[in-house]
Amino acid sequence: MSQDDPAPGEGSAAQLSGEEKSHVSAKQPARAAVLHEIIRVQGEAELSRSAAALAWSALAAGLSMGFSTLFRGVFQAQVPEGSAQHLLGSFGYSIGFLIVILARQQLFTENTVTAVLPFMTRPSPGNGLRLLRLWCIVLAGNLAGVLLFSYGLARLDLFPPAVADTFGSMGRELMSATPAEMFSRAIIAGWLIATMVWLLPAAPESKFWTILLITSLIGLAGFPHIIVGASEASYLVFQGQLSWHDFLCRFCGPVLAGNVAGGTFVFALVSHAQVASEA
């Protein structure tokens, strides 16, 4: 060993200046506790918003999420049926999520993590009521917006027959699953959305690509999302191909329960327990 080599057990950090060591420290990934706190603070801010602010933001998000159905259908109509069609459509599926998240509109499935962490950190009846208040307002606003968008899509003559037929086939494919299948698949969708929410503070410079990757995978795999799926299923309702009873009982109930289970009871609980065990 030459005299210039570091002694056994010496790390290379011993060769760095103070400024360089600070630079190394700055490049370390954030601990899970830091990400937890960032999301918890965001959740506190959302829980403190007025009902009117939440409702208008949720309505805007529901309208924006309609673009996931629109662009998925437009993209899929451009290629023959097959694997390429579903792959291209999955990128269209991401459009609504990109609009909603980058514009900071209120989306229900995001709030299965963001707004839940304040309650898990300080569980109390008051915080529980605040959480239920936010969930009810946001879910109602999201559904109102997406149903309004879907009504326009179904009743206005906006696209050629080939594209309109694609919208219908998307809805029929969604509704071909049994309620039990919808529930189990929706758990994974809720889990992936919660994972995306957790990842965004860790890589803010990659926010666009994180949203695009995860949501396109949800669309490609056919995991149902309560808001996007409501747009696809209600298109059939407004076309007279599906009853409101089936829309509510066969789609909304199982998918809503699955999304909440995946986002809250699987991901949020485990992530919170990880941080709490380190405290």
Residue 132: inside a domain: yes
Q: Is a pLDDT exceeding 60 seen at residue 169? A: yes
In the prediction, which pLDDT does 88 show? 85
**Phi, psi (deg, nearest 5) at residue 109:** -70, -25
Residue 251: inside a domain: yes
Cβ(79)–Cβ(35) below 8 Å: no
Render pLDDT for 30-57 as a digit per residue (tens, 0 to 9): 566 777 788 888 888 888 999 999 999 9
Residue 23: inside a domain: no
d(CA 128, CA 171): 35
Residue 6: inside a domain: no
Q: Check the CA dihedral 167-178-142-90 and report its sign.
A: negative
Which domain does 80 fall in, by range?
A: 30-278
In the prediction, which pLDDT does 271 show? 62
Query: In the 8-state DSSP scheme, what is residue 229?
Result: H
Q: Is a pLDDT exceeding 80 seen at residue 87? A: yes
Cβ(66)–Cβ(150) below 8 Å: yes
Contacts of 27 (CB under 8 A, 6+ apart): none
Residue 4: inside a domain: no
Cβ(70)–Cβ(99) below 8 Å: no
Residue 2: inside a domain: no
pTM: 0.84
Residue 135: inside a domain: yes
Higher per-residue pLDDT: 190 or 81? 190
Nearest to 229 by CA among 145, 110, 146: 146
Indicate which CATH number applies to the domain containing 236: 1.20.1080.10
d(CA 179, CA 182): 5
Number of domains in the chain: 1
Residue 3: inside a domain: no
